[in-house]
Amino acid sequence: MEIQAMTAFEIKKGIEEGKFTSEEIVKKLFERIKEVDPKVEAYITLCEEEAIKSAKVVDEKVKNGEKLGKFAGVPIAIKDNICTDGIKTTCASKMLGDFIPPYDATVIKKLKAEDAVIIGKTNMDEFAMGSSTENSAFMKTKNPWDFKRVPGGSSGGSAAVVAAGIAPVSLGSDTGGSIRQPAAFCGVVGLKPTYGLISRFGLVAFASSLDQIGPFGKTVEDCAMTLEVISGYDKMDSTSSRKEVETDYLSALDGSVKGLKIGVPKEFFGKGLNEEIKASLEKVMGKLKEMGAIVEETTMPITEEGLSSYYIISSAEASSNLDRYDGIRYGYRAKDYESVDDLMAQTRTEGFGKEVKRRIMLGTYALSSGYYDAYYNRAQKLRKEIRRQFKETLEKYDLILSPTSPVLPFLSGEKSENPMEMYLADIYTVNINLAGVPALSLPCGFSKEGLPIGIQIIGPHFGEKKILKAAYALEKELKVDTLAIK
Ligand code: GLN
């Protein structure tokens, strides 16, 4: 089988069974990357030498009959806001353009402990702020299904590498939709786990109460396999959950949705939803019924207000998190300045892009005295109500179904001058982060023009197994192609 079509699961099995070596896989993959990535522009940094070295270590283990990790020899791409020891981690910002972390994020440590092979760092919107990957300081990643279109964002690079067949799996981060929306735009599977299930240690902070790391894959199985490796309590992250959860996610994939109760809030069919996406969602609802699930219309009136709450809270947290980039402690420093204050101002003026500056200003404003109650406090109250509505709905239903994005992948440049329009692309995803529940985007077909469409499956806190089970069953039924470039 050709490297671009192989899943992480197939690679792992093949290496275990001695059908091929990890070194062979990694070398083939880099050949493919060199051919395809110049067109897609999804990687900021490639680590070929290190990858071959790690692959050889795994191959030695196989030769000596040693016990292999759960990710034995499988290549994985990492979003460039997740710290990798000795490998540049830029957040697609001039501010961190030369930053080489002296440590690994916990998810990277866990992957390495299970014998994964890190192949490179992927492009994103600067500091994960955006929905199109156009806010990167370095390059604009293309949608592998149509190079004129955006791959979604902010984890656009991580979604594109999987769809382009230049990484079997990848990690992204999701603060308001940044895994699910690009997964939908690129026609691959993307999962945002429950807040607290995955350690955020070593993930460069955007909005700490919303950020979560999660996997992208061509299949639900690959996402489940990756989640098994990266999840779990971590003492290095004070928001990491101590709850005992069964993390044998692969065992949940039994192909059945019989008896599952699925709610579809009518608010998700509001104005602004693309007709073809709506039709796809209805088709999936019908399929689920045929497969034995109970699908009902329900209501979640808060849906629209979520967006304003999200942009206030996430910007407020970002304005505080990003104050560490002052030109003194680390990262970029302006060359010309007259005083310490001037040094900070100049550094930030030159180091941050437009969208990041916009969020810092918005957040600082919302937190300033006199406006705090009107904006930040109100947004927090709304957040409470959103959490309550999700809790209530997920007590009645096992899962909630919705579109992932109201729009199809848009043209590059189409929304970049209109931030409000760009923010609207997140209407179905942000509430999930505010509530802290998990959700997965599953490819469910294509528009007439051949653009991918994704649906979102939302579950209760720590309900990843339920989500993966339903997604796996649907995936088998829908049989949607997830490889854009053959
Ligand atoms: N598009 C949203 C934003 O710009 C979500 C970003 C994210 O999830 N990192 O904030």
Pocket-testing residue among 313, 314, 434, ligand 1, by greatest number of atoms within 8 A of Cβ:
314
pLDDT higher than threshold 80 for residue 152: yes
Reported as a pLDDT band with limits 50, 70 and 90, residue 302 is confident
User: What one-character DSSP code corresponds to residue 377?
Assistant: I
Reported as a pLDDT band with limits 50, 70 and 90, residue 417 is confident
- How confident is the model over 122-141, as a mean pLDDT? 98
Chain segment 162-186, per-residue pLDDT in tens? 999 999 999 999 999 999 999 999 9
Atom of ligand 1 lying closest to residue 206 CA: 9
Query: What residue type is assigned to position 143 of the chain?
Result: N
- Please indicate whether residue 422 or residue 117 has the higher confidence score (pLDDT): 117
Please report, rounded to a whole number, the percentage of residues in the chain having pLDDT higher than 70: 100
Atom of ligand 1 lying closest to residue 425 CA: 1
Kindly report the average pLDDT of the chain as a whole number.
Answer: 97
pLDDT at residue number 452: 98
Cβ neighbours for 391, distance < 8 A, ≥ 6 positions apart = 435, 460
Please report, rounded to a whole number, the percentage of residues in the chain having pLDDT higher than 90: 94
Pocket of ligand 1 (CB under 6 A): 128-131, 154, 174-178, 206, 314, 426
C-alpha of residue 19 to centroid of ligand 1, in Å: 41
pLDDT at residue number 321: 97
Chain segment 304-343, per-residue pLDDT in tens? 889 999 999 999 999 999 999 999 988 999 999 999 999 9
Query: What residue type is assigned to position 52 of the chain?
Result: I
Catalytic residue list: 79, 154, 178
Burial 29-48 (b: 16+ CB within 10 A, else e): bbebbeebbeebbbbbbbbe
Q: Tell me how far CA of residue 443 lies from CA of 226, 284, 484, in angstroms.
A: 18, 11, 12
Reported as a pLDDT band with limits 50, 70 and 90, residue 208 is very high
pLDDT higher than threshold 90 for residue 222: yes
Least confident range from 201-205, 268-272, 480-484: namely 268-272
Comparing C-alpha atoms, which of 55, 56, 45, 35 is closest to residue 83?
45
Pocket-testing residue among 175, 321, 354, ligand 1, by greatest number of atoms within 8 A of Cβ:
175
Please name the residue whose Cα sits nearest to atom 5 of ligand 1.
Answer: 176
pLDDT at residue number 186: 98
Atom of ligand 1 lying closest to residue 174 CA: 8
Q: At what angle do helices 220-230 and 8-16 cross, to 10 degrees?
A: 70
Comparing C-alpha atoms, which of 185, 193, 130, 129 is closest to residue 160?
185
CA gap 92, 139 in Å, rounded: 9
Query: Cis peptide leading into 416, omega within 30 of 0?
Result: no
C-alpha of residue 470 to centroid of ligand 1, in Å: 26
pTM above 0.95, yes or no: yes
CA gap 71, 60 in Å, rounded: 15
Comparing C-alpha atoms, which of 89, 86, 88, 119 is closest to residue 102?
86
pLDDT higher than threshold 80 for residue 284: yes
pLDDT at residue number 211: 98
pLDDT higher than threshold 80 for residue 271: no
pLDDT at residue number 337: 95
pLDDT higher than threshold 90 for residue 303: no
pLDDT at residue number 269: 84
pLDDT higher than threshold 90 for residue 419: no
Place of tokens 């779990």: 232
pLDDT at residue number 258: 97
C-alpha of residue 154 to centroid of ligand 1, in Å: 6
Least confident range from 150-164, 243-257, 274-288, 295-309: namely 295-309
Residues in the chain: 486
pLDDT at residue number 329: 87
For the domain with range 3-260+398-478, which CATH number is right: 3.90.1300.10, 2.102.10.10, 3.30.70.3270, 3.30.300.20?
Answer: 3.90.1300.10
User: How far is C-alpha 440 from the geometric centre of its chain's CA atoms?
Assistant: 10
Domains of the chain, by residue range, sit at: 3-260+398-478, 306-379
- How confident is the model over 194-198, as a mean pLDDT? 98
- How confident is the model over 76-104, as a mean pLDDT? 98
Token code pair at residue 165: 């067949």
Which alpha helices (DSSP H) does 248-325 contain, by range? 275-290, 306-321
- How confident is the model over 425-437, as a mean pLDDT? 95
Cβ neighbours for 190, distance < 8 A, ≥ 6 positions apart = 155, 159, 172, 174, 179, 180, 182, 183, 184, 214, 215, 216, 223, 440, 441
